[in-house]
Amino acid sequence: MARAVTGQRKMINTLAAWSVGLLIFFPILWTILTSFKSEAQAIANPPVFFLFDWTLENYSAVQERSNYSKFLWNSIIIAGGSTLLGVLIAVPAAWSMAFVPGKRTKDILLWMLSTKMLPAVGVLYPIYLGFVKAGLLDTRVGLVIVMMLINLPIIVWMLYTYFREIPSEILEAARMDGATLRDEIIHVLTPMAIPGIASTLLLNFILAWNEAFWTLNLTAAKAAPLTAFIASYSSPEGLFFAKLSAASTMAIAPILILGWFSQKQLVRGLTFGAVK
Amino acid sequence: MGQIVLKKVQKKFDDVEVIPPLDLTIEDGEFTVFVGPSGCGKSTLLRLIAGLEDVTAGSIEIDGKEAADLPPAKRGLSMVFQSYALYPHMSVRKNIAFPLKMAKMDSAEIKKRVEAAAEVLNLTSYLDRRPGQLSGGQRQRVAIGRSIVREPSAFLFDEPLSNLDAALRVGMRMEISELHKRLDTTMVYVTHDQVEAMTMADKIVVLQAGVVEQVGSPLDLYHSPKNKFVAGFIGSPKMNLIEGDEAKKHNAQTIGIRPEHIAVADGNGEWSGVVGVSEHLGSDTFFHVHDTGLADMITVRVEGDVGLKYGDKINLSPRQDLIHKFDQQGDRIV
């Protein structure tokens, strides 16, 4: 029986949903607002919301001081490269786990996830030394590899879940039709899993874009992405909240825009298989 | 061309033996149906022939060539699945063309064959639709189209009609039989529905727990079932199986008599009972008779209608010459 939703109840639900949404969005909103204030207004007590002198001077100051496009480019390469590489490795892995599971498949999946439970700093030392030895410190290649490895468990897990929704009879039909394993993955499995793969790509791009621990620790000047760009405004010369906010806004803008345009795809992908 | 010979084929999943060593020959051009209750191993057997499962031991010869170690695509067979297993992201045309594309056939030839298949299956006006836009029957036809374009040496069908409604099922049954006559190619068909088996098969293979109980033509199986299991499984409504004193009179452990071989007697028949539920089909009536002292229920099939109601007394006389006799092991006594 469908549950009757009265007008009043609907309004309460709407209000509650908006409140939660605004609560989550508030830090971002505050950052964006602050980026348009002067430094004095940024730390004013009590804080001002909208009634301040809107200014773009923080943005010009940030643009003058650092080369935004270089950081942006590094972010794109690192987030994009690690995501693509990750999916290329994860598709066959998830295929085998979803369609020819062994006795230990569940254990392997859990073990992969368990690597995400380890605090990253626990492996900083060996990875840092490894990077020094391999000459990968402050290189984009190095960052792409690390970021890919960090997100790989999530990519495999997500793809595994999507692949499990695909009836194995269809893959068997492809096999009967003469498809090799490669054909099967390229012509049948991948196109059918496109919504899932797209949301995996998107989510991992966002995760890699926002990742700060490894990018800050393994880069200096050459390969530094936008996270390092923000960090460079945080302390040495004291706190410049307005400029820091301007830098943050510039760093999150691309991903915010990407997320906005792909929200439909993202929601569809994340709820894929939830309802049969 | 499409002869399939199984020799000592065995299948185990881990330690569970689902198919004990089994021998079977499917002749070229024959329509063979594997039938049995669910879980009897009929689908597994078909998948072994297809190559979708590996045999644990034994050999499978297709066209005289050993095929047990070949991958599915190299066996020259094609298969139609219960769920149709169409590629949802491809149009009907691309679905049917897929096996040809995999075989790297040139595009002009692919086009010709796809259109020919679509013609045969009445799919011409649907070629540019996606499977999601088709009805169940049309989808099944696309699946059949996809399997015929390759001109395989044999077709495998895994319960292809189970997802269709009753009326469509009868129609598709005819279409598949028609296709068999026209293509004259070996077909192996799995079903749990003995009506499908009886109506379509040249040869029926009755399976139980992975063991072949009997192989024969539909009428062979109907008239001389080799054992109690086949007797009870083939024929609808089921054969009446009677044990006890009545069976002893015939020097058997169990006797069987088909519902159509029992007549309603006017006066004093050999058996008597009380009419339970009756099913009126118009052409026939099935009476379920209780309190006969023979079995819980005796089913009787009468042509047309007889004016008997629930709770009425009924006298029955079985045709003595058509009583089947089975020994203690359930095997037929000749």
Dump pLDDT digits (tens) for A166-197.
888 999 999 999 999 899 989 999 888 888 88
DSSP-assigned letters across all residues of B88-144: TTS-HHHHHHHHHHHTT--HHHHHHHHHHHHHHTT-GGGTTS-GGGS-HHHHHHHHH
In a domain? residue B177:
yes
In a domain? residue B332:
no
B7, B162, B78, B25: CA torsion to nearest 10: 20
* Same domain, residue pair B267 and B195: no
- CATH code, domain carrying B61: 3.40.50.300
| pLDDT-based confidence at residue A115 (cuts at 50, 70, 90) | confident
* Same domain, residue pair B192 and B317: no
- Measured in angstroms, the CA of A87 and the nearest CA of chain B are apart by 21
Residue B126's contacts (CB-CB under 8 Å, 6 or more residues apart) are B92, B118, B134, B138, B142
Dump pLDDT digits (tens) for B221-266.
999 999 999 999 998 899 999 998 889 999 999 999 999 999 998 8
Q: Determine if the peptide bond prior to A167 is cis (ω within 30°).
A: no
* Same domain, residue pair B117 and B152: yes
| pLDDT-based confidence at residue A268 (cuts at 50, 70, 90) | low
Domain boundary among B230, B259, B292: B230
Note the pLDDT of residue A273: 45
* Same domain, residue pair B138 and B117: yes
Domain boundary among B230, B246, B262: B230
- Measured in angstroms, the CA of B279 and the nearest CA of chain A are apart by 36
In a domain? residue B146:
yes
- CATH code, domain carrying B254: 2.40.50.140
* Same domain, residue pair B277 and B173: no
* Same domain, residue pair B39 and B147: yes
Which stretch, A226-230, B99-103, B168-172, B290-294, has highest mean pLDDT? B99-103
* Same domain, residue pair B86 and B212: yes
Dump pLDDT digits (tens) for B29-74.
999 999 999 889 999 999 999 999 999 999 999 998 999 999 998 8
* Same domain, residue pair B15 and B115: yes
Query: What domains can be seen in chain A, in order of their start residue?
Result: 66-232 (1.10.3720.10)
Note the pLDDT of residue A93: 93
What domain range includes position B281?
Answer: 237-326
Domain boundary among B177, B206, B230: B230
* Same domain, residue pair B77 and B162: yes
Percent of chain A with pLDDT over 70: 93
**CA gap B334, B236 in Å, rounded:** 23
Q: In this complex, is the C-beta atom of B333 within 8 Å of any C-beta atom belonging to chain A?
A: no
* Same domain, residue pair B47 and B15: yes
Structure token pair of residue B289: 């008779």
**CA gap B156, B152 in Å, rounded:** 10
* Same domain, residue pair B217 and B132: yes
Contact B87 A178 (CB under 8 A): no
- Strands B154-158 and B16-26 turn out to be unpaired
Domain count, chain B: 2
- Measured in angstroms, the CA of B141 and the nearest CA of chain A are apart by 15
Q: In this complex, is the C-beta atom of B57 within 8 Å of any C-beta atom belonging to chain A?
A: no
Structure token pair of residue A191: 């196109």
Q: Nearest chain B Cα to A190, which residue?
A: B89
Least CB–CB distance from B102: residue in A177, A191, A192: A177
Average confidence score pLDDT of chain B = 92
Look up the pTM and report it: 0.79
In a domain? residue B333:
no
Contact B87 A170 (CB under 8 A): yes
* Same domain, residue pair B195 and B253: no
In a domain? residue B89:
yes
Dump pLDDT digits (tens) for B297-326.
999 999 988 888 899 999 999 999 999 999
Which sign, positive or negative, has the C-alpha torsion B300, B304, B308, B313?
negative
Q: Rounded to the nearest 5°, which phi and psi values hold at A100?
A: -130, 60
Contact A192 B79 (CB under 8 A): no
In a domain? residue B212:
yes
